[in-house]
Amino acid sequence: MKKHNVIIGAIVLAVSSFTANAALTSVGGVTWDPDYDSAGPPPTEDLDMKSNFSQWFVDTSVAGIYDASAAKDVLTVGIGDELQGSGRFTEFNGFLNPTLGADPGFCLTCELTYEFGGLLSDGVGGFTSTDAFLNIYVETGVDINGDYDDGAGALWLGLTVATLDFTATVGSAQYLDGFVSATFNAMSGLAMPNFDTNTVAGGADIAYAASAIFRLENVTLPYDSTTNQYLYTTSSTAGFTGDSVAVPEPNTLALAGLALLAVGGLRRRRFNK
């Protein structure tokens, strides 16, 4: 009987350890609560990420090449021209990035940045998103500078576009401003197992919503005096929602496995009596 109590105590310890480790999860230096309550309207979700980003159009001849310096006048966008851009996450499930003055933060010695592309203009105010993507990176060291650094950092989460809708507010055949909504599928990266949940509409993993503004009112970015247009835009309204899960570390899984084996052994001993 005493031996059985020892086994049961080990099982309780293992399970309690597993539960404690599930409160926060960390991948690649990024820490968040996978059970976060977004406190939004039903249904509530446990993923709430906000970011600042820049975006621009490039000519179809250079589509696929990340190059902000190749930004073209939004009034000349034609079929096959690519919308591309980059940004940095500023909030993740209630935590801010510590470089913004927050402590604690979701990325204590790093920053989460991203690039997107493959969104090709259809020439009439919409996009073809067959090959569209959004890649999120963890940047460390000298790359912690508040901006996405092309080619720097480890791939934290690679996403492909499942659905995309652009609603223009100024003319159906123009890309002056509007609203973008999209859903993404998690395909690769360090955190892919945490976000491959299939809980967003249509079986996707993450939903996205952002304003898309290319008009003159955006006075913080490069201005082309020839066309009286700002060539690309920034926005702080981009939001990513959905669900995430805690993926136990291998040692936690092993501990839980030992607990299950102990349960199995105890049951066999009882049945053999």
Is the Cβ–Cβ distance between 229 and 73 less than 8 Å?
Answer: yes
Q: How confident is the model at residue 269 (pLDDT cuts 50, 70, 90)?
A: very low
146 and 265 part of one domain: no
208 and 254 part of one domain: no
99 and 4 part of one domain: no
DSSP symbol at 147: S
Structure tokens at 201: 């509409």
The phi, psi pair for 121, rounded to 5°, reads -65, 140
**How would you classify the pairing of strands 111-121 and 82-92?**
antiparallel
Mean pLDDT of 157-178: 83
7 and 59 part of one domain: no
Q: pLDDT (tens digit, 9 = 90+) per residue, 71-128?
A: 887 778 899 999 998 889 988 988 887 765 555 689 988 999 999 999 999 988 889 9
16 and 61 part of one domain: no
DSSP symbol at 81: P
Choose between 218 and 183: higher pLDDT: 183
1 and 85 part of one domain: no
Distance CA 156, CA 98 (A): 18
Q: Residue 10 pLDDT > 60, yes or no?
A: no
Mean pLDDT of 26-32: 93
Q: Residue 234 pLDDT > 80, yes or no?
A: no
Query: How many structural domains does the chain have?
Result: 2
86 and 130 part of one domain: yes
Q: Residue 225 pLDDT > 80, yes or no?
A: no
205 and 73 part of one domain: yes
pLDDT for position 7: 39
Q: How confident is the model at residue 13 (pLDDT cuts 50, 70, 90)?
A: very low
16 and 44 part of one domain: no
* Torsion, CA 148, CA 153, CA 158, CA 159, rounded to 10: -10
113 and 164 part of one domain: yes
Mean pLDDT of 138-143: 92
Provide the domain limits for residue 65.
28-247
202 and 120 part of one domain: yes
Q: Residue 262 pLDDT > 90, yes or no?
A: no
C-alpha distances in Å from residue 105, one per residue of 72, 136, 141, 195, 241: 37, 18, 16, 20, 19
Q: pLDDT (tens digit, 9 = 90+) per residue, 30-82?
A: 999 998 886 655 555 788 898 888 888 899 999 999 888 788 877 788 999 99
71 and 60 part of one domain: yes
Name, in order, each residue with C-beta under 8 angstroms of 141's C-beta and a sequence gap of 6 or more: none
- Angle, helices 250-272 vs 2-21, to 10°: value is 150
Average pLDDT, the chain: 76
Is the Cβ–Cβ distance between 228 and 272 less than 8 Å?
Answer: no
- Residue length of the chain: 273
Query: Whole-prediction pTM value?
Result: 0.77
Mean pLDDT of 144-148: 87
Mean pLDDT of 227-243: 62
**CA 38 to chain CA centroid, nearest Å:** 15
pLDDT for position 267: 43
In percent, the amount of the chain with pLDDT more than 90 equals: 31
Nearest of 244, 158, 170 to residue 200 by alpha carbon: 244
Structure tokens at 84: 């591309």
Distance CA 184, CA 158 (A): 9
